[in-house]
Amino acid sequence: EPEVTQTPSHQVTQMGQEVILRCVPISNHLYFYWYRQILGQKVEFLVSFYNNEISEKSEIFDDQFSVERPDGSNFTLKIRSTKLEDSAMYFCASGEGPGELFFGEGSRLTVL
Amino acid sequence: GEDVEQSLFLSVREGDSSVINCTYTDSSSTYLYWYKQEPGAGLQLLTYIFSNMDMKQDQRLTVLLNKKDKHLSLRIADTQTGDSAIYFCAEYTYSSASKIIFGSGTRLSIRP
């Protein structure tokens, strides 16, 4: 069964460092998303991406965040200068249409 | 605005039915979802229902939608220890454009 895969599963970084989280969405999907979940809290929307551009982003997705689909298969989330409060589980999701999302297992980011 | 509310905890005896409830605010919701998250894992789509449906059944899972009261429930029949997880209610609406909004999640624990 096709699935969304994310790497790394866990990354530990120092505050101020750049981090890139990678996702391989399901191959025929057209809609891509990043969500995050701070430990014990809600799953929060970060950004959606369709047709090679951002379609919507939340207040959390400030100038420190960017997304890219560099090669037609990967979908990356970059955090330019990490802060302690960026520590969270980051989930990538993809869908054929906007209504049905399949999530990856997540990448846990720990900022020290 | 969009908001999805759930109770935080539910404890049931093994073999009993579990009923997890959710309320949402956006009457233009088109899809309503239940996701399951096991400890340390990603978000697994369990089932979803279109807003023009009242009920959907899938093996041990029954989803009921009361659109008038904006109330969604998930019933798990014959609850097993493997059902222990956090269950997230989520909605997709045209007013939220291209994202799904999650509730806070209900932690289901199973008593022997």
Question: CB-based contact (8 Å) between B101 and chain A?
Answer: yes
Chain B residue with CA closest to A10: the answer is B40
User: A18-71, pLDDT tens digit by residue?
Assistant: 999 999 999 889 899 999 999 888 899 999 998 889 988 999 999 999 999 988
As a whole number, the mean pLDDT across chain B is 90
pLDDT band at B65 (very low <50, low <70, confident <90, very high): very high
pLDDT band at A97 (very low <50, low <70, confident <90, very high): confident
Of B30, B35, B98, the CB nearest to A48: B98
Chain A residue with CA closest to B106: the answer is A42
Look at residue B96 and tell me whether its pLDDT is greater than 70: no
Instruction: Specify the pLDDT at position B74.
Output: 97
Give the mean model confidence (pLDDT) for residues B40-49: 87
Question: CB-based contact (8 Å) between B42 and chain A?
Answer: yes
Look at residue B101 and tell me whether its pLDDT is greater than 80: yes
Which 3-state string (H, E, C) describes chain A? CCCCEEECCEEEECCCCCEEEEEECCCCCCEEEEEEECCCCCEEEEEEEECCEEEEECCCCCCCEEEECCCCCCEEEEECCCCHHHCEEEEEEEECCCCCCEECCCEEEEEC
Look at residue A9 and tell me whether its pLDDT is greater than 90: yes
